[in-house]
Chains A and B, each alone.
Chain A
Amino acid sequence: THTHTKTENKVHVIIYTTEVDYSFCRFDCNMGEVKVIGSRKSQFCTRVEWALKLKGVAYEYLEEDLRNKSPLLLKFNPVHKKVPVLLHDGEPIVESLVILEYIDEKWKENPLLPQEPYERAMARCWAKFVDEKCVFGAWDACRAEGEEEKEKAIGSAQESIAFLEKQIEGKIFFGGEQIGFLDLVVGWIPLWLGVMEEAGGMKLLEAEKFPCLHEWAQNFIKIPLIKECLPPREELANYFQASLSYLRSLAANKP
């Protein structure tokens, strides 16, 4: 819920392998009213919440039923009619990566993007790659039926994941010593990928093949502020199963 407080807000975050102190003080500087229109099942919405929490921004969350889109959503995202939408003092910002950059620019605590232009470009490049190739690659592998098609889709998805493995090698987080932009973007892997793997009857993030990414995933999901924004696993699993069945029935009914 939305609060304006004049007292200190401190958050301590400890992860199991390394103690990372995310304590920060946030005095209310009248930075405006923040709302998020989202769906808790969508990893694109969760990453926005993570960013706001990392920065200590108080916000109101408005859960959207995607099968029955509200007039509010249609008003503030008339072009794509999708979540997430960030409302800052009533002004809408849409597209999760655009929202993350906006949050990073507006609130300076715990910077998400690196300072150096080339590193920023790399973070943005990898974020785009994750959203365009990894997410859809995993979903394709989940949906594929038939042994040959499945194997091919899994191979393709794992090729994308291999690039991420290289990026995380030798680092605690994609952002280095602290959580960064790319960690939030890849943050769908611990929960959402796990659920997709179960629903699709396949394993993509194999610990022996991708040890660094696997370890990162285990650590990331244990961080309290990350964990507290996650939807219940069972709810997500049911949602994916339902989507899969729906898509498969559509395919079966095509002439």
Chain B
Amino acid sequence: DISSQLLFFLTPFLVFVLDKVFCSSFSVSKFLQISVTMASRGVVLLDFWPSMFGMRIRIALAEKGIPYEYREEDLGSRNKSPLLLKMNPVHKKTPVLIHHGNPVCESLIAVQYIDEVWKDKSPLLPSDSYHRAQARFWADFVDKKIYDGGRKVCSSKGEDQEAAKTEFIESLKLLEGQLGDKPYFAGETFGYVDVALVPFYSWFYAYETCGNFSIEAECPKLIAWAKRCLEKESVAKSLPDKHKVYDFVLHHYT
């Protein structure tokens, strides 16, 4: 209807103005919550465009066909928005999935939440408990090894960088071994571990350029898997351009 459409379009402007004028008053935060919820019919993603963690949630929402409002949080500006501080007071980080005004922080937890709430379409976690445990383990492995591993490759030099590259490739090879000859990590269907890992593919070009090495040469099957995932619309539209990511890395990591 017209009034909710109007509110949808006016909301960002109103939020911007009230943000600036009233900063952190209670009434503004309540208004923010209500307007944000109404505008997107319940789902908002507070995100930062190069974040692999944010990409995971974008992919999961797209897989399930859930419309949502994407709100960019400029983490580079060091001025965290009142909404972020309210929704994630503990870590003050993105991404944050907000559903009916309730925040879910931590990307893998948000992806599991999405899978449980919208359970009738494109299930991401396997149905069998043992395979679910395996999926959770490997997603946790990606969190523990790939993010820090890649970051070290970009930000270190000389001997340290060589060591970082070796460790990073080792971790990728472990994942490649886990994939084996299957099209996706869980088998025939795209799932949880794919969602956890594929966002890092948008950073591979940056890692390779910073470290002067080729991931494809070391892990060809993994690259083939990533390209297979990119054939899916949910993945293709959720990952940023690799050159844009590399530019970002140049400005922030090196």
Q: A117-B116, A118-B102, A121-B113 are in contact. Are A98 and B129 (CB under 8 A)?
A: no
Kindly state the separation between the CA atoms of A42 and B90 in the bound complex, as whole angstroms: 26
A residues whose Cβ falls under 8 Å from a Cβ of B: 79, 88, 91, 93-95, 98-99, 101-102, 105-106, 117-118, 120-121, 124-125, 128-129, 163
Kindly state the separation between the CA atoms of A118 and B43 in the bound complex, as whole angstroms: 13
**Are B132's CB and A102's CB within 8 A?**
yes
The 5 A-B residue pairs with the shortest CB-CB distance in the complex, in nearest-first order: A117-B116, A121-B113, A102-B133, A105-B129, A93-B133
**Are A121's CB and B133's CB within 8 A?**
no
Interface size class of B (residues with CB under 8 A): 20 to 34
Kindly state the separation between the CA atoms of A99 and B109 in the bound complex, as whole angstroms: 16
Q: Which chain B residue shows the least CB distance to A93? A: B133
In the complex, chain A residues whose CB is within 8 Å of the CB of B156: none
Interface membership of B104, Cβ < 8 A: yes
Interface residues of B in 102-158 (CB under 8 A from A): 102, 104-106, 109-110, 112-113, 116-117, 129-130, 132-134, 136-137, 140-141
**Are A117's CB and B136's CB within 8 A?**
no
Q: A121-B109, A121-B110, A121-B112 are in contact. Are A98 and B140 (CB under 8 A)?
A: yes
Cross-interface CB contact of A124 among B109, B130, B133, cutoff 8 Å: B109
**Are B130's CB and A102's CB within 8 A?**
yes
Kindly state the separation between the CA atoms of A120 and B109 in the bound complex, as whole angstroms: 9
B residues whose Cβ falls under 8 Å from a Cβ of A: 90, 99, 102, 104-106, 109-110, 112-113, 116-117, 129-130, 132-134, 136-137, 140-141, 174
- Secondary structure call for the B interface: helix
Beyond A91-B130, A117-B116, A121-B112: 7 further Cβ-contacts under 8 Å? A98-B133, A98-B137, A105-B129, A118-B99, A118-B102, A120-B116, A128-B109
Q: A102-B129, A102-B130 are in contact. Are A128 and B106 (CB under 8 A)?
A: yes
Cross-interface CB contact of A125 among B106, B129, B132, B140, cutoff 8 Å: B106
Q: Write the nearest CB–CB distance from A83 to chain B, whole angstroms.
A: 15
Kindly state the separation between the CA atoms of A95 and B144 in the bound complex, as whole angstroms: 12
**Are B130's CB and A117's CB within 8 A?**
no
**Are A125's CB and B109's CB within 8 A?**
yes
Kindly state the separation between the CA atoms of A121 and B117 in the bound complex, as whole angstroms: 11
